[in-house]
Amino acid sequence: MESKKDLSFLIEKIKLATGLNQDGIARRIKYKRETLSRAKKKNDLEIYALLEEEFKAELGPGPVAPQNTEMTKEDRALLKALLLEVVALKSEREGSSLEEAEAEIKRNTSLIRKGMD
């Protein structure tokens, strides 16, 4: 079982991933799949699915990141979905309320947007 420290490390990796090339995009997709696998093992996909859809709707059709023209809207959505997924898992493990989880998601979303928009 992963510790809170492991999940925090994943969040830091996501924050650093905003300027990566195609190899970085592939790594993020791999992290997304691994994180989804952990969520499935915990059998708590309902909240993940609801929050992911909300997160993608918020993302909208914005421009690709100026510092990484290879990153598409789909890549941005994958990155942000991964962030959401990790924060949701972290919040669940910490026993946080939904309001606390949403606040953490918004804080991390803001950090990612600064590097991508």
Give the CA-trace dihedral at 89, 93, 96, 98, to 10 degrees.
30
Range of the domain at 29: 4-116
Q: pLDDT for 14-50, tens place per residue?
A: 655 544 444 555 665 666 667 666 666 665 555 565 5
- Rounded to whole angstroms, the Cα distance separating 7 from 65 reads 26
Quote the distance between the C-alpha of residue 10 and its chain's center: 9
Q: What percent of the chain has pLDDT over 90?
A: 0
Token pair of 72 as six digits = 């598409």
Total domain count, the chain:
1
Rounding to the nearest 10 degrees, give the CA dihedral for residues 109, 54, 87, 77: -60
CB 48, CB 39: distance < 8 Å: yes
pTM: 0.36
Q: Which residue has the tokens 């420290």?
A: 5
SS3 of residue 43 by DSSP: coil
